[in-house]
Structure 1
Amino acid sequence: MSTSSIETATPGLADLQAIGWPLADDGLPVEPAWREAMVLRPHARPARVVEQHRSGYIVADGPEHSFSVESLPEWLRPATYRKGASAPEERPAVGDWVLIEGSSIKHSKIVELLPRRTAIKRAAAGEHYKQQLIAANVDTVFVVCGLDADFNPRRIERYLLLVRGGGAEPVVVLTKSDIADTDSAAAVSVLELAAQDVAVRAVNAKDAASVAALHAWLQPGRTAVLVGSSGAGKSTLTNTLLGVERMKTAEVRESDSRGRHTTTYRALIPLPTGACLIDTPGMRELKPTGEEDVAENFSDVEALAEQCRFRDCKHQREPGCAVRAAIEAGKLDPQRFANFLKLSDEVAAAASKAANRRAQKADDKAPGKTPNKRPDEKYGRR
C-alpha cells in the first residue's frame, strides 16, 4: 500500500473490496450492524486499520489510499483509546473496520469502531486478566510451522485452540517441505491433524508454485492472517505470495531452527490474488483467554471419554477407562492427551480470572461504590 493522502470523501466499493470489505448480493455490507451504523452516520465512510504501531495506526479506504504513520493525525489517538482508558481488546487492531468523517487527513476523525466478525486473541502476560487482540475480521488463519526443529505438534494444538475460539478457519501450513524428512514423526502428526478436520498444506515458502496450494483460501475479498513462531517462514511466505521481496527475512539458528523477529509490527497487505494478508511478529507466549472450547479441539479425546465406565472418570487408574486403554493400545498419543489436560486447566483458570474481573467491574459501578484505587491514590503519597 502507498502512504499517499486521502482527499476523496467517499471511497469506491472496488477499492474497499480490495482491502477485504465484505459485501452481500445487494451491494451492502454483510453485517447488519455495519449497515445500521452507516445509516446512523450518513456522512461517515468506512476505512480499515492496515498497520498497528506503538505510536498509533495507519488506516486505509483502498489499496492505494492509506494514511502515513509519519504524519499520524491526532484523531488516531483519541482520548477513548488512551492507555488504561479502555481494555486492550476494545481498541482498534489490524483488520478492524472503522467509520471516519472528514474530507481530508487533517480534518478526519474516527467516529466508530464497527463490530468484529471474527477476532484472534490471546491472554496478555501478567497476573491480571487482560486480552491482546492479534487480528480482527479475518476469514482464515494460517498457522505456520517449519518442518525442521521448529515443528511442535503441541504448539500447533495451542494455536488451533485460540484460532477456533475466535471464529476463523484454521489452516496448518508446514513450511520448509524441501528440506523435510518425510519419514519423520511429523508425518504422524500431520495425519492426526487431518483426522481432526484441519486442513494441512506442506509448502516450500520460497517456491511460488508450491505456495499456490494456499490460493483456495486467498480469493478476492478474503482476509487471512499468518501466525507462528519466529523463523517459521511467515515473512518468506508473504514475499512469495506478493511476488516481491517486501518483508525482511533472516536465517534461523541451526541449533533450534528459531529466528529473530524480522517482523516487528502487524500489517495488512493486499495480494495479487485479490485477498488481503496480515503478517504478524512471532509469538513466544500463547495463553488462552478462557473463551475457548477445548472439547471442540480435542474431539477424539472427548469421544473416548464418553466410552469410559464412569462419567466422572479422571482417566488415571479407574477401571474401564477408555482413554487409558486407547493410550496403551497406541491409538492416542499420550503427549496429545497430556496437552488436552494442560489446556483444559489453563482455559478454566483464565475463565475464572475473566469472571472475577467482570464481577469487580460490576462492583465498582454499583451505586455509591468508589472504584478501587492504588494505595498511593487512596491515601496520598508519603
Structure 2
Amino acid sequence: MELGLNTYQQHEQIDGEKTLGRISLNSADMYKVMHLDGRESNAIPKKRTEQFLVGDWVTLDPQIDFDLINERLPRYSTLGRITGEEYRAEQKCAASNIDQLFICISLNKNLTDSRINRYLYALKKDDEYQTSVVLTKSDLTSDSSKIAAQLAAKLQVPVFCTSSVTSDGIEKLRSSILPGQTVSFYGNSGVGKSSLINVVAQKEVMATSDISAKTDKGRHTTTSSRLIPIENGDFVLIDTPGVKSIGVGANDLAQVFPEIAELAKNCRFNDCRHLDEPDCAVKEAVQNGTLAQKTYDQFLALQKESELTQGYLDKKLAKKLNQKAEFKKQTINYHRYRKPPM
C-alpha cells in the first residue's frame, strides 16, 4: 500500500524524484523507516541531533544495512500531550501526519464527564485532524446507546459506541475511516484500545492484556509509538502507548464547552473569564439553572489549570532561549578574544 502518501500529497507537495519513507518506530531515538513497498529497515539521521516522530515522511539515502535519513518533510498535523505538573510540565509529541484521532473511553466506572472534557480539551485540533470519541466495552451497560447520543449532542463531535466482544458499532467505526487515511486511537491503559484495534483491523495486530478487577485499569501493552499498515480498510494506524494522565495547556475551551461559548456572547466584556466580572451571562445561567453547576465547575477547573500550565511552559521556554542566547554570546566573545601582546 502507499502508506498514506496520496493523502499526504493533498496537504503538501513533494519531489517525486527522491526516495521516500515514513518513520515507523521511534524507540529511545532508534528509528525504523517503512518504504512504499512495505519493507521496513533501520534508519539513521544524517544530522544525529535531529529527532523524528512516528508518521513523519522523510527522504532517504539507502545504504547496505540501513537507510540514511536526509530530511524530514513538512508535517500537516501533530499529536501530542502535556506531561508532568508545574515546572515539570513539558510537551510530549507522539505522532505526526494523522487524519483522524479516536479518543477511547471505557464504559466502566472510570467514565466521567470531566475525563472526556479533559481529553477533548488537550487533544482536539480541528485545523489539523478530525477528533471523535469512541466508547468501548458497550456490553458492560444497557444504556450505552443513550450515553453515546447524549455525549454527541453535548460535545458536538462524532461518538461511536463499540464492543470488541459483541462487535457492536465496529462496522460504523470502520466505515468512518477513509482509504489512505492515517488514524490513531488514544486513551488510558485498560480501556480496551488494543482489542478494539484488532477488531477494526480484522486481524491480530496488537497485543492485549487483562485489566485489574479492583481498579478497572490495565497495563501498558504498547511502550512506544508504532506505524502499522492495515490492509483490511486500506488505512494506516499509528499506535501510541496508553496514558495514565494528561495535562492541559493553551487551547480553545469553546470547542469543549460550546454551550458556555454561546452564553459568553452575551457577556458585557469580550474577554470575560466568567469569574467575578459584572454582567456575566455564564454566571447568570448558572444562577437561573440553565447551565449546570457541574459543567461550570469543570470549565473553571480546566481554565485555571491550562493557564497555570501554559505559564510554566512559557517560563521554561524563555529560560531555554535565554540560555541559548547567553551561550551564543559567550561563543562570539571567545572567538573575538585576542591574546594581549607580551
TM-score range, shorter chain: 0.7 to 0.9
Say which is worse superposed, 166-175 or 303-312, in terms of deviation. 303-312
Q: Partner residue of 2:339?
A: none
Q: Partner residue of 1:150?
A: 110
Alignment partner of 1:79: what SS?
A: coil
Matched, 1:92 2:57: no
Residue 230 of structure 1 aligns with an amino acid whose one-letter code is S
Q: TM-score with structure 2 length normalisation?
A: 0.83
Please show how residues 231-242 of structure 1 align to structure 2 within 5 Å.
231-242=190-201
Q: Deviations over 1:297-333 (max 9, x none)?
A: 3221122133245667654577754323433554433
**Cα gap change, 1:250 to 1:362, in 2 (>3 Å):** closer
Matched, 1:66 2:66: no
Q: Partner residue of 2:297?
A: 338
Contact in 1 for aligned 2:103/2:132 (Cα 8 Å): yes
Residue 80 of structure 1 aligns with an amino acid whose one-letter code is T
Residue 111 of structure 1 aligns with an amino acid whose one-letter code is N
Q: Partner residue of 2:21?
A: 47
Alignment partner of 1:219: what SS?
A: coil
Among 142, 162, 180, the residue aligned to 2:141: 180
Residue 138 of structure 2 aligns with an amino acid whose one-letter code is S
Per-residue deviation, 1:63: 5.9
Q: Partner residue of 1:169?
A: 130
Please show how residues 1-382 of structure 1 align to structure 2 within 5 Å.
15=1, 17=2, 19-23=3-7, 29-32=9-12, 34-35=13-14, 38=15, 42=17, 44-54=18-28, 56-62=30-36, 64-67=38-41, 72-73=42-43, 75-76=44-45, 78-81=47-50, 91-102=51-62, 104-106=63-65, 108-125=67-84, 127-128=87-88, 130-165=90-125, 167-182=128-143, 187=146, 190-208=149-167, 210-271=169-230, 272-290=232-250, 292-308=251-267, 315=274, 320-363=279-322, 364-365=324-325, 369-370=329-330
* Count of residue correspondences: 327
**Cα gap change, 1:108 to 1:262, in 2 (>3 Å):** closer
Q: TM-score with structure 1 length normalisation?
A: 0.75
In the aligned structure 2, how far is the partner of 1:192 from the partner of 1:254? 26
Per-residue deviation, 1:117: 0.6
In the aligned structure 1, how far is the partner of 2:188 from the partner of 2:19? 36
Per-residue deviation, 1:190: 4.9
Percent of matched pairs sharing the same residue? 29
**Cα gap change, 1:77 to 1:263, in 2 (>3 Å):** farther
In the aligned structure 1, how far is the partner of 2:110 from the partner of 2:46? 38
In the aligned structure 1, how far is the partner of 2:67 from the partner of 2:272? 60
In the aligned structure 2, how far is the partner of 1:55 from the partner of 1:139? 24
Contact in 2 for aligned 1:262/1:281 (Cα 8 Å): yes
**Cα gap change, 1:317 to 1:357, in 2 (>3 Å):** closer
Per-residue deviation, 1:367: 9.0
Residue 79 of structure 1 aligns with an amino acid whose one-letter code is R
Gaps (5+ residues) in structure 1?
1-14, 82-90, 372-382
